[in-house]
Structure 1
């Protein structure tokens, strides 16, 4: 065997040191976090001249921040619980690994006060999403813990500005303080509406936008209850995506029906003149309620909507309808009405609703049997039947589905994660069970979810 020179030994030592350094860098990167969110209490002004006590946020001085994630790349978020109660965070609409979905006991233990949890999200789909707690859900969301999440398009569509709009109510009295967050009578019906409508925690804010520019408005309804119809008036605008998925044919931004959990992306061409104000409003029995205004500013830059690149479809698999199995789900009253089991995540103290005649017991260890067991890679048609006189936005975690048909109305073949099921309506939706795990399946009127209208689907590999 040839001898080894001193130079080779030194080079070997250098290589070993380099390897060690590389390993240290890799370990350092593995332990790195992209963002830290701290759930905490705060005081904040919502109504003019008042300061609301007992609010909650992931930001020390105001509403939860807009999170921006790269499409298809891992992004780590540390959630630190500085509240005096347990919490957890769900990333609404993201098709991510089950362990990162943020549902108590179904995917992880609740985050106890003073503790933290690291979520690593690799979102395959671009678009507008949002995030919120799934523990003591009604109280924490009602007090402010709802934020907008954006997965950036890999290819820039060409907007001059991207403006997320967190649309939600608060239940406040005239003194600016919280009133009772829900009423049992309303929870057994359509839900308890808020008293103060806000956009990004402001009442009827005005946004200055460059005249003649192209702006992407990202509307996210993060409310706990309200099903509403929204109109954008002024300028030239088109709805280009719903629930994060691009529309093959954009539509006018008039009469946009959105329930809690749903989103709409609007491409707005801002008017050229400072006097031409664009407004976003909510239809109410008393007439339109102004939510936000958009005011042209400066000399027009004279952009055109046709300069925008079309949004690319998200990589969501198409169901094989010819070979799909149909599974029925009935959304109705609770057959029993027993008090819910105690939970570290709290209860509302009532059981009013059920899926397939079973009232869901949310947020407890051992959450019972799944509503259905799906095989990974198989196609399914879910037949959703609403026996009640109330509307229910039905949300499925971890997967997206396509609307097929309804017995009450014509539905567009939209891809979504939250479908609004109207009173007494039966709707069929299709999906490919492409994401293994136990996935929460519930109404996103939070009073309904927390009083029985919840369960989960299991996807087995």
Structure 2
């Protein structure tokens, strides 16, 4: 299937990405009989985030049939079934939608200049694809990301599989914090001295746009908790108090071995699925706690309601695995990916936002901004061939590295014992060297970047090309 060049996309104009072009794309990507589109829009809003003040100047996604909702809706798809979202931008600045973790056709990936034109206010585009994988994913913009994500544009996306085991309830958690002042209004999203280190954390920590929300679930029941870390910066270390749970999936894929949750660390962009066994006494509450970096903070509560169902964690069965082509480790091509700090170049001005600094690089080259002619790809990969990314973190900070459009398997690490996880986002530790194996199975230009957004926007971004 021939790829459209970036120049051709831009020459065609943003209008080509509107309704008519979206329908045409739907049939070209295996959605021959398009379902009725989900009507989704980006817009401004306001909400109470700190429990007291109304925060103005927020940004969100909304369904056309629920325009008054504040928090972005949880979108539910089914594996192997076509999906179309007719997206309209109501913001006063350009934006797009990226479907984080989903293996979609390249033109549906939502990266300005690399895969599609950005959408100005009033523009529409039909995102059409058939999800091959089930699991917990999320969606967000890939334009002016520090502001747009930082002000609310992060929503959970669930791809269901009817073959998955049944739970007594399901709870979705959009985990993030906010940069707010004492009056509840937004303050500067980043501080350069922090951007050059681990990043600038928020001041109000919460879930589902609330501080310490409480969720009701059946007493003594088994609950599937789907959690996405959608924050721009914060790395979480999560544990439970007052209940037990099993880790059943990470980043949308079943874990190789189901284990009890002790403490698990996840970075921005990562997802966690738990099988939570609720307390046996009605009214009793369990707490999900973030213990990083020092003082413990409750991010969500789970309250038992009703008569005990008397389920046990022994009732939990594995999730249905997603399709996966095993890399041929005997014939792989190895690709070096070195994460480092840099101060060599000034960033290029971009309509999709620049922070005005360059601090980070991949293979000693800093991303020069979202421009019509970005740098050359890190590597050109041949469709169907196996590769190993030799990822080396030469910095004293952790980086959640996310690959668009494809999944990889964790093979080995010099810093810790690793499971052979299939994932799209790996939290690489300081001074860690890790091997990530994959088969290049999706044609196109695919962004690879740190999901600490300040790091992404100050250089730790590049892309790979599959031909």
TM (normalized to structure 1)?
0.91
How far apart are 1:32 and its partner, in Å?
A: 5.1
Match of 1:53 among 46, 52, 56: 56
Contact 2:35 2:83 in 1 (8 A): no
Residue-by-residue CA offset, 1:152-174 (whole Å, 9 max, x unaligned): 01314111211110000000112
The one-character-per-residue Cα deviations of 1:226-250 (angstroms, maximum 9, x if unpaired) are: 1121002223310101111112321
User: In structure 2, what is the equivalent of residue 381 of structure 1?
Assistant: 388
Q: Which residue of 2 aligns with 1:18?
A: none
Which runs of no fewer than 5 residues in structure 2 stay unpaired?
A: 1-26, 63-67
Match of 1:369 among 351, 363, 376: 376
Contact preservation (8 Å) 2:448, 2:462: yes
Map 1:397-436 → 2, pairs under 5 A: 397-436=404-443
The correspondence for 1:337, drawn from 322, 339, 345, is 345
2:35/2:82 contact within 8 Å kept: no
Native 8 Å contact 1:72 1:123 kept in 2:
yes
Match 1:167 to one of 158, 175, 181: 175
Partner-residue secondary structure (3-state), 2:210: coil
CA distance in 2 between counterparts of 1:409 and 1:236 reads 25
- The answer for unaligned runs of 5 or more in structure 1 is 1-25
Matched, 1:443 2:450: yes
1:203-242 to 2 correspondences below 5 Å: 203-242=211-250
Quote how far apart the aligned CAs of 1:29 are: 8.8
Aligned equivalents of 1:34 and 1:133: distance in 2?
A: 19
**Following TM superposition, by how much is the alpha carbon of 1:275 offset from its aligned partner in structure 2, in angstroms?**
4.5
Match of 1:301 among 287, 306, 309: 309
Q: Which residue of 2 aligns with 1:273?
A: 281
The Cα RMSD (Å) is 1.6
Q: Which has the larger radius of gyration?
A: 1
TM-superposed CA distance for 1:286, in Å, is 4.2
- Once residues 45 and 121 of structure 2 are traced to their aligned partners in structure 1, the CA distance between those partners, rounded to angstroms, is 16
Q: Secondary structure at the match of 1:248?
A: strand
- Contact 1:44 / 1:61 at 8 angstroms: preserved in 2? no
TM-score where L is the length of structure 2: 0.90
Question: Number of aligned pairs?
Answer: 433
User: 1:174–1:407: structure 2 CA closer, same or farther, 3 Å change rule?
Assistant: same
Secondary structure of 1:321's counterpart equals coil
Aligned equivalents of 1:342, 1:154: Cα separation in 2: 47
Structure 1 position 251 matched with structure 2 position 254: no
Distance 1:259 1:213 in 2: 29
1:333 Cα deviation (Å)?
Answer: 1.8
Q: Counterpart of 1:34?
A: 37
Name 2:132's counterpart in structure 1.
124
CA–CA distance in structure 1, aligned partners of residues 413 and 163 of structure 2: 35
Residue 58 of structure 1 aligns to a residue whose secondary structure is strand
Is residue 188 from structure 1 mapped to residue 191 from structure 2 by the alignment? no
Contact 2:343/2:358 (<8 A) preserved: no
Between stretches 299-308 and 104-113, larger displacement belongs to 299-308
Return the alpha-carbon distance in structure 1 between the equivalents of residues 174 and 247 of structure 2: 17
One of 90, 108, 113 as aligned partner of 1:105? 113
Q: Deviations over 1:376-417 (max 9, x none)?
A: 000011001111111111100001001111122221111110
- Alignment partner for residue 271 of structure 2, among 257, 263, 269? 263
SS in 1 for 2:330: helix
2:55 and 2:184 in contact (8 A); partners too: yes
Q: 1:135 to 1:246 in 2, by over 3 A?
A: same
In the alignment, does 2:456 pair up with 1:457? no
CA distance in 2, matches of 1:321, 1:424: 24
Deviation digits for residues 269-305 of structure 1, max 9, x if unmatched?
Answer: 2122025321101013442100111010111122333
- Partner Cα separation in structure 2 for residue 373 and residue 129 of structure 1: 27
SS class of match (1:168):
strand
Deviation at 1:368, TM superposition (A): 1.9
Structure 1 match to 2:15? none
Counterpart residue number, 1:21: none
Report if aligned partners of 2:244, 2:261 keep a CA contact under 8 Å in 1.
Answer: no
What is residue 44 of structure 1 aligned with on the other side? 47
Give 1:8's aligned residue. none
Provide the rounded CA distance (Å) in 2 between the counterparts of 1:404 and 1:284.
27
Contact 1:244 1:263 in 2 (8 A): yes
**Does structure 1 conserve the Cα–Cα contact (< 8 Å) formed by 2:256 and 2:421?**
no
Distance in 2, matches of 1:96 and 1:276, equals 42
User: Partner of 1:186: helix, strand, or coil?
Assistant: helix
1:88 match: secondary structure: coil
Structure 1 CA distance, aligned partners of 2:343 and 2:350? 21
* Alignment CA distance shift 1:337-1:119 (3 Å): same
CA contact 1:33–1:78 (8 Å) conserved in 2: no
